[in-house]
Structure formats: C-alpha cells, structure tokens
A and B are shown apart, each in its own frame.
Chain A
Amino acid sequence: MTGLAADRRTFLKGLGVLGAATLVPGCATSTKSPGSGSAPTGQVSLQSNLSSEQAKAAMEKLVATYNKTGGSQVKLNTVAAEIFRTQLPTYLTSSNPPDVYTWYAGSVADSYAKKDLLLDVSSVWDSMGNYSKAMQTLSTSSAGQKIFVPTSYYWWGMFYRKSNFAKWGVTPPKTWAEFVAVCKTIQSKGIPPIGIGLGDTPWVASAWFDYLNIRINGAPFHRQLLAGQGDFTDPKVKAVFTKWREVLPYFDPKGKSFPFQEATSALLAGKTGMFLIGTFFADSAPKDALDDIDFFQFPIIDPAVPVAEEAPTDGYFASKKAADPDGVKKFLTWLATPEAQNIYVQSSSGTAIPANPDGKSADTALVKKGKAMIEGAAELTQFFNRDSSDALQPTADAALTKFLDKPDQIDQILKTWQTAAQKVFKA
C-alpha cells in the first residue's frame, strides 16, 4: 500500500509541474500553427453561451439553416452562460479548442487578441463594407486586425409603463432638470421614482455611472478612464457622483436587496416609476405588459457634449487554432449577412437589432425607437465591463454599491476605486 501514497504524492507534484509547464509558455508549446498540420475537417464547432430557451432555439435554427447551405458543417454546443464566462480562457488556451465562440465586441475581445488567441478575420470583413464605422472600430484589435464579427446589438434606456406615466400625469423628460421634476412628481404620489436591482446583479449600477459620465464628460473621456488612461480621483469623475447625488433620494430603497429581474417586476407592477436597463429585461416581462412599455433616452445634462449612447454589441470570434480556418471564415461571413441575422433576431426575443444595416429588426414601435436613438448618436459606448474588462467590473460594483449606501464618503470611495483599478490595469 505504500505505493498508493507515493503515487498520489508524485501525482500531485506532477500535476503542479504540468500545470506550471502549460501555463507559463501559454499556448505556444502545444499549438499547431493555424491551418498547417491538420487537413480541413469540414466541421466547425460553435461554442455558444446562449443557453436560455428562446435564444438556444434561435441558435439551433441558425445553425440548421447554415448547414443546409452546404460546405462546412457547424456543430453547435451550448453551455450555461455562467460556465462559458468562467471557462472561456480555458477553452481558448486548450490544445484542441472549439472553433467559433459567441462573445462581445470591444476590449473584452481585444484582451484575447492581445494574447494572440484569436483568428484574424479581416478577409471576412471584405464582405462587410456596409457596416458602420463604430462596428468596425469595435471589431478591430489594438494590433489593427479584425478579430470580431458583430451580429447584433441592443440598447439601454429609461424604461417605464405608458399607462403609469399617464396616470401620474408626467411626460418623458429630455433634460436633467425635467428628469428631476418628473422624479419629484412621481415621489409625491408615494411611488419610488427610480427602480434599480442590485442584489446579485450589482453591475446594473454601472449603467448609471456610464451614462452620467458620457453625458457630463463625454464618451472619449469615459473610454480613456476605463482603459486605464485616466484616474478615478479626477474631479471630472467626482462631478459624475455629485450629479448622481441629486437624484439619489429618488432611488427605490428596496432595490439593493433584489436582482434586476425582480426590479423589472416592481416596475411592471407600478411599484417603481422608471428603470434604467438594457432591452434584455423585456424577456422577463409578461407578454401582456410588453405593449405598455416605452422608454426615453437618458436625459441630456450638458448640451455641449456630443450625445453618446450605450449599445452593447454581440457577435462571434474564432480561435487562432481552428482546424479549418477557411470553413470558419465562411461560416462567419454567412453570419454577417442580413439573412442570417434576420433568422436569429426573429427567433430570439426580438429586442436585438441586427448589426448589418440591411438586416431587419423587429417591427415594433419600441425597437424602431431604440434603433433610431442609436443611429442618431454621435458616439457609441458599450457597457462598463465591455469597454474595460471583466476584471475591472467588480471594482466598479464595490465602489458604486458603497456610494449608494454612503454618498458622503465619495472622496474615500474614489480613492479606493482608483487603487483597486490600478491593480487590475497592472495585472
């Protein structure tokens, strides 16, 4: 029996060595260089994080349609969003990774490109000349390669129930002063004006930070700040929180205890007045309430600042180690077409807007209004984590949650945030 323990010991030691060996040189050691070595397999694997019932069905339909067109066959593999998020680095660095992945545009994709894990899809972009400039920028890595194929985006707005606004006698505000007046009126009816849901979903608060920052300081400043070229103790950042404090008394005090999905229920039940949220919340609304939902643009604070909006863009990227890069690119080219995007948008929840300008979004007043707002914006941002990194998001969550609790300590909070952010940027 002595052998067993010795085995276990050496086994553990061996594991450690192996782990270190595979980690240190990154993927370089076990990589087969793209395209060489293995012949095209004719099969492309697609790792998808769209695990909710409707989105999964939409993806299955999309893949089935593509496979009928002939050429390479795509095999869809859906895993839970949470598992996908945590395992994505493992997938990409493994020696035999899946070929294509659902993911987000912008710096979150670029962070993998910097590690040389993504396939250069510039040739796919040859057929995507009609995509907007903003989409092109989002899909380009810091090394100047196209690494991402956007397929859809959605928008954020201040959502409310039309019937409730009519009942309370308020109209959607355009400016900050009007917004504060609306808050006052709703509060006088005994309803908390601004709904929020931070329990389990503290990142929802970042929407407020993002919007206030791009309204007060503008999108370029916001992007630089999130890229580590600014400082959270900057007086310009503090101005964001000073503005925020003006409306803090109007936030739903219960919002800290439940997640945003419950906050949606509160909004729909008329227990809160408005809710700054992304269109994905509509999936959690009962069908009969959907017709009564409308939104307004986040109020303008400084008319001199070019209007920017949050438009998180979703799409696909591919692994550099894909066995059949041509098959992958062919699939991505197809995903970029309006036909493919229409299939997805129609079969999924319907609030997503195709990234291809020729794609057809859902024909509802809400989506038309959202699309018009995004198209009219001078600048687009995505969302806090997408414009920075998933590592920076928790620092924002901590700072913003603390601010909502203790707005007096803002200087201290910003100092702590800057220290935490610096650690992330240096890592």
Chain B
Amino acid sequence: MIRRVGYHVAMSVVSFLWVAPILWVIVISFRSFDDVAANGLGSLPHSFTFSTYKSAWEDADEFRALINSLLVTIPAVLLSLGLASIAAYGLARYNLPFRRTILLLMLMGNLLPPQILLIPISRFVELIGYYDTLIALIAVHVGFGLGFYTFVLHGFMRDLPREIQEAATIDGAGPGKIYSAVILPLTRPALAALGALSFTWIFNDLLWSITVIRSGEKMPVTPALLGLQGLFVSSWNVIAAGTVIAAVPTVAVFLRFQKHFVGGLAIGAVK
C-alpha cells in the first residue's frame, strides 16, 4: 500500500515536471506585455488578457501560416506514406534481387544529417525553378521521410502471414490487387501510427521551410512564429499565444491517433 502511494506521489511529481513548461507557456500567453516586461517572465501573473491571442492571430497572420502548414503537411504525409507503402510492399513480399541493399540504402539517406544537404537542396530547388513554392517543400519532406517510412512498413508487412497472399494469388489477384485489397488494409495500424508521427514531424519542421521558402506569406507556422521575435526585443506573451495556437493541430492529431502512437513506435523494433 505504502509502495503504491509512494509510486503515485513520485509519478505525479515527474508528470508535473513534464507538464510544467507547457503550463508555463499557457500562463505567459495570458499575461500582458507590460506585466511581462515589469515583472519578468518567471514571475506569477499580475494580469489576464486575451489580446495576445488576437495579436498572434492577426498581426502575425497565423491563420495563413496554419493554412500553409496544412497545405504542406497533408499532401506530404499522404504522398510519402503512399509511396513508402508501395516500396515496402515490393521489398517485403517479393524476392526482389538486392532488396536488403535497397532497404539499407534508403535508410542510409536518413542517417545523413539534413544540415549537409541544406545548400545542395536550396540550389537544386532553385535550379529546377521551384524555389519559394510549397511544392518544393512537399517534395523535400516526401524525399526525406520515404526511407524511414519504407523501413518501418517493411518490417510490419514482412510479418503478415504468407498464406493470405497465397490465397489471394490462387483467387486470381495480381500484385496490384493484393497490395490494395489485402496488404494495405492489414497495414492500417502501422499506417495510422506513421501518419500521426509524420504529421507531427512535418508540421513542426522549421529547417526545410526556411531553406526553400523566401516569401513571408508562404511560410508555414513554425517560421511564422519565429517572425514574432523581434530583432532584439520579443513579446514573449504573444509568442506564447502563437505557440499555443500552433500546437492545436498536432495535439488534435495526437489525440485522434493516440492509441496508435505507442504501438507505432514499437513497430519494426521487435522481430
């Protein structure tokens, strides 16, 4: 009994530590600028205002930034998962020559630190005339996600029973039909988990958006938040409010796919 109580007390403290920074951001987002300036960021709130949310929404044009973010994130997630599942299907279900090498090569691309590729990518995108477009950003995200998603889906598809595919073959289904009617529905848990993960990754990306996009009005929400910071002085309360708004889509996706998250992280980890 005492051990149980002790466990819960200790875990409550740990989870509070975990949540505290988020709570802190939320508290700051409701404070006025003069309050923050006079009492410092760390002090208890002396004011309460909603105007921070209004200025984040209007002055920072967060609505447009959120739309941009979704315009990039949703196609990028669908496209990369679609392509990755086709690749994983071929690699996992057929005895293609060099399939291990192919898989390792794809994964190797993911091991490269993205920073090395910043300049080549920005030059390449410029060369093919897609610099400063959302299409370029989608392409970059698809390219970078593909290796890892294929690897994870490959691990999942490999473990599906052989007999199902054989039964489908006997019933006269070709590779395309087997993929769409048999394998893909069975891969749904993995796709849901990866979908949620990749949504978060792509939505939260900052590096690639500032590399391939130059116009303020095309920037997704993360660089737009950065834009709330001034050259020297930043209105932390407005930034906090903007951050809270920007977190809504990812939190919504997380809540919707919550149960897949833990399962998804373990996919491919266990043989």
Contact = CB atoms under 8 A, between A and B. Distances in A.
Interface of A: 1-2, 4-5, 8-9, 11-12, 14-16, 18-19, 22-23, 47, 49-53, 55-56, 77-83, 86-87, 90-91, 94-96, 98, 258, 260-262, 264-266, 268-269, 278, 280-281, 283-289
B34 interface: yes
B72 interface: no
Contacts, number: 153
Interface of B: 33-34, 36-42, 55, 59, 87, 90-91, 96-99, 101-102, 105-106, 109, 112, 117, 119-124, 126-127, 131, 143, 146-147, 210-211, 214-217, 219, 223-224, 226-236, 238
Given A49-B231, A51-B229, A265 B34 contact: no
A16 B124 CA distance: 10
Nearest to A286: B34
A95 B128 CA distance: 12
B127 to A, nearest CB: 7
Nearest to B224: A80
Contacts of A98: 214
14 contacts: A2-B97, A4-B87, A8-B146, A19-B123, A77-B215, A79-B210, A80-B229, A81-B229, A81-B230, A262-B42, A269-B40, A283-B233, A285-B37, A287-B34
Contacts of B232: 260-261, 278, 280-281, 283-284
A52 B214 contact: no
Contacts of B101: 5
Given A269-B38, A284-B37, 8 more contacts: A1-B96, A1-B99, A2-B97, A8-B147, A18-B120, A22-B123, A53-B59, A80-B226
Secondary structure at the A interface, as helix, strand, loop or mixed, is helix
B231 A19 contact: no
B120 A8 contact: no
A269 B233 CA distance: 18
A281 B39 contact: no
A78 B216 contact: yes
Contact of A87 (B42, B210, B217, B234): B210
Contacts of A260: 232
Contacts of A90: 119, 122, 211
A289 B214 contact: no
Contacts of A5: 101-102, 105-106
Contacts of B37: 264-265, 268, 284-286, 289
Given A23-B119, A269-B40, A288 B34 contact: yes
A8 B40 contact: no
A51 B59 CA distance: 10
A79 B123 contact: no
A31 B126 CA distance: 13
A75 to B, nearest CB: 9
A87 B224 CA distance: 15
A234 B109 CA distance: 49
B117 A15 contact: yes
A83 to B, nearest CB: 5
Nearest to B43: A265
Contacts of B97: 2
Nearest to A269: B38
Contacts of A261: 232-234, 236
A80 B224 CA distance: 7
Nearest to A11: B143
Contact of A1 (B91, B109, B126): B91
B227 A16 contact: no
A21 to B, nearest CB: 8
A23 B120 CA distance: 9
A63 B79 CA distance: 40
A258 B36 CA distance: 14
B112 to A, nearest CB: 8
A8 B109 contact: yes
Contacts of A16: 120
Contacts of B112: 12
B256 to A, nearest CB: 31
A310 B138 CA distance: 46
A19 B119 contact: yes
A261 B146 CA distance: 42
A51 B223 CA distance: 11
A52 B234 contact: yes
B90 A1 contact: yes
Given A55-B231, A264-B37, A284-B37, A19 B106 contact: no
User: When A and B form their complex, which 3 residue pairs have the shortest distance between CB atoms, in order from nearest?
Assistant: A52-B230, A19-B120, A286-B34
B40 A2 contact: no
Given A2-B98, A53-B59, A79 B223 contact: yes
A95 B126 contact: yes
A98 B232 CA distance: 24
Given A53-B59, A262-B40, A83 B233 contact: no
A80 B219 CA distance: 10
Nearest to A265: B40
Contacts of B117: 15
B131 A94 contact: yes
Contact of B124 (A15, A258, A283, A284): A15
Given A19-B119, A22-B123, A83-B210, A8 B106 contact: yes
Nearest to A56: B59
Nearest to B38: A286
A5 B90 CA distance: 13
Given A15-B124, A52-B231, A281-B233, A262 B41 contact: yes
A51 B233 CA distance: 11
Contacts of A283: 230, 232-233
Contacts of B210: 79, 83, 86-87
A90 B119 CA distance: 8
Contact of B231 (A15, A47, A50, A77): A50
